[in-house]
Amino acid sequence: MILPDYVNRCIARLEENGFQAYCVGGCVRDASLGLTPHDYDLCTNALPEQTQALFSDCGLVLAGKKHGTVGVILNGDVVEITTYRTEGDYRDNRHPDWVRFVPGVEEDLARRDFTVNAMAWSPTRGFADPFGGRADLRHGILRAVGDPDARFREDSLRILRGARFSVKYGLTPEAATEKAMTQLAPLMENLARERVFEELCKLLPMVSAGDLIRFASILAAVIPELQPMVGFDQQSPHHAYDLFTHTAHVTGNVPADLNLRWAALLHDVGKIPCFSVDENGRGHFYGHAQTGAAMADDILRRLKAPTAIREQVVLLIDKHMTRLEPNKKTLRRQAARWGMETLDQLLHLQQADMGSKGTGKPEEMEQFPKIWGILQEIREENSCLSLKDLAVNGKDLMELGFVPGKAIGACLNHLLDLVLDEKVENQKDVLLEEARTFL
């Protein structure tokens, strides 16, 4: 491993004072894969008080000191240095009952989640890899350290982390690990919702349809509304896939934008409660967009999602059945109502929705290139899409004789409607003449 200077300085200071020091965990894993680590963690046999004393001339972060971690700030970078430790049982599936410092790195590595994260490296001692993490990386295997059941009972968030590591690094869970991940997924009910949401936000931008299908039971454990969708026959000639498989393909086919991925994952959750079958045996889902939007709002509130994400996802789901057409005037009005960014996202969602039915009917997709072309024209024209784009403002109207109050807002909205309908040009003199008429 080639380490940044500030990391080498930390290691050297520990070693020069008679302590062992290893890089550990994710930085070793990433470096072994030829990737550049985002940050570096060290482990050592120095006790927290000793580490604190050794780096007393540096900025320190001591919030984790009671668990053995001292953060050292060098040139604006933080290196977390943790004393070798082992842990007691996790009776709440979240926190260890106790932490005990130990003298050797191997015992410290034994408490970690997966073999690919249970490696340490020292510039002087080389690799410490007692569980075969390097071999598992070479063979593309995700394997829990020791007993998988014990690892996931200690902290059930490791189940979602396992899915993320599998997706991100192209690792296939070995049989016992995957079995434990699936069987113990219900333990995630005990997790803080914020932890679950944060992990899902790391996972969703990376997943393919195949990933979602493989880990469907794990996702359904933290979002129970997904469970009835797995294997659900939509009984429609427009859908060759079951409901969850369709959802997986839609999610994998939208751009890796977080709002879009959440909207795609939840866009059809309203279909189950809205399902009906007509006299010909054909399934229908009347009103599922609005029902799904309300359900998505509940789901994201439960997961403690930020308001901005929740509101945007709910809007996209609510409007995903409002078909966009290659009509410039209509698209301009929709851009004015929702904003160009939302209109782009809605078009991406509809395109993925239409293209993920498995029916192989290309005619359903013919309209999308035309719509994208019109939206590009609207952008290039720098079209007037909101009140702030109008060539006149409230001050102009007051100079014209308007009394401050509701009449100004009403007039401005009237002028915007005229411009959006292409009845007048967005020019100051033209708009002022229309305003006189309105007055």
| pLDDT tens figures, 288-298 | 999 999 999 99
Q: Are 349 and 264 in contact (CB under 8 A)?
A: yes
92 band by pLDDT with thresholds 50, 70 and 90:
low
pTM summary value: 0.87
Q: Does residue 384 register a pLDDT over 90?
A: no
Q: Which pLDDT value is given to residue 93?
A: 53
Q: Which pLDDT value is given to residue 421?
A: 83
**Chain mean pLDDT for the chain:** 93
Share of the chain above pLDDT 70, in %: 97
Residue, of 83 and 422, whose pLDDT is higher: 83
Q: Are 435 and 411 in contact (CB under 8 A)?
A: yes
Q: Which distant-in-sequence residues (6+ apart) come within 8 Å of 404 by Cβ?
A: 394, 398
**CA–CA distance, 337 with 134 (Å, rounded to integer):** 54
**What's the whole-number mean pLDDT along residues 272-280?**
95
Q: Does residue 89 register a pLDDT over 70?
A: no
Q: Are 316 and 349 in contact (CB under 8 A)?
A: yes
363 band by pLDDT with thresholds 50, 70 and 90:
low
Q: Does residue 271 register a pLDDT over 60?
A: yes
Q: Does residue 4 register a pLDDT over 60?
A: yes
Q: Kindly report, residue by residue over 199-249, the tens digit of the pLDDT.
A: 999 999 999 999 999 999 999 999 999 999 999 999 998 899 999 999 999
**What's the whole-number mean pLDDT along residues 67-74?**
93
Q: Does residue 341 register a pLDDT over 90?
A: yes
Q: Does residue 383 register a pLDDT over 60?
A: yes
Q: Does residue 13 register a pLDDT over 60?
A: yes
Q: Does residue 348 register a pLDDT over 90?
A: yes
Q: Are 365 and 247 in contact (CB under 8 A)?
A: no
96 band by pLDDT with thresholds 50, 70 and 90:
low
**Least confident range of 155-159, 351-355, 409-413, 422-426:** 422-426
